[in-house]
Structure 1
Amino acid sequence: METENMVLLDVRPLLAQKQDPFKQIMEMVNTLQSSWGLLLITPFEPVPLYTVMQSKGFVYRTERKSNNEIHSYFEPDPLSVKNLAKEPECNFNYNDETFVSLLNTFKGKLHEVDVRELEMPQPMLTILEALEHLPEEHALLVHHKKIPLFLLPELKARNFEYLIYNKEKVEILIFR
């Protein structure tokens, strides 16, 4: 991959302020000219972003420059047609009764994980690890501080369904 025709975006300052850079990354990607790529600088390998960028028609490679500097190069894949979807679809439910009813269908088969206090990328890694060990016909209830946009395409790719409850708290019910 060449580093010419790359737009640079360093999201370490945002992450240091505990802000999620996903929106800024997608805004940058959506403004790229068709032959241009993105050089993203992060303090950790942005594994959750790989699926999103591949769905948008990019190939990637990552280089570790130092302990807190990772360079990820995303450039257009000439063999792929870009999927220009802006963000993954979200299944939101603001009806308390419906959410509680669905929770009750998994009574005795509900596992919980609380990732509200974890630093990125640990919430996503913790959730995916819990899903790896989730028995058939069981569900995972995730207590999160925000809607994890990077996680949603991963759930879809792994054939999980999810329901997001986002009122005074964010809870995600993940099941098959």
Structure 2
Amino acid sequence: MKLDNRGLQPPQPMMRTLEALEELGSGEQLTIINDRRPMFLFPELDEQGHKYEVHEQKDGSFSITITKNGD
């Protein structure tokens, strides 16, 4: 699943991301694209046990692939 959060003001990108994660099954992945590095999202993902990889894009946006916790 892919979610483009560009152009949205905080906290909308984080809310949309967490809502989309709820719809996924264990081990499934969600890729989000944000205008900026989602600093407040990372502690939430860590707390929930999700894994993620962050890649800065050439245009300055960030692509984050999140793998839902398998618990």
Taking structure 1 as the reference length, the TM-score comes to 0.36
CA drift of 1:137 comes to: 2.1
Q: Describe the SS at the equivalent of 1:146.
A: coil
Cα RMSD (Å) of the superposition? 1.0
Alignment pair present for 1:165 and 2:21: no
CA drift of 1:155 comes to: 0.2
Bigger Rg, structure 1 or 2 = 1
The residue correspondences of 1:1-176 to structure 2 (distance < 5 A) are 111-168=1-58, 169-175=61-67, 176=69
Stretches of structure 1 that go unaligned for 5 or more consecutive residues are 1-110
Stretches of structure 2 that go unaligned for 5 or more consecutive residues are none
CA drift of 1:166 comes to: 0.7
Identity percentage of aligned residues:
35
How far apart in 2 are the matches of 1:143 and 1:155? 16
CA drift of 1:151 comes to: 0.3
What amino acid is aligned across from residue 17 of structure 2 in structure 1?
I
Runs of 4+ in 1 over 6 A off after TM superposition: none
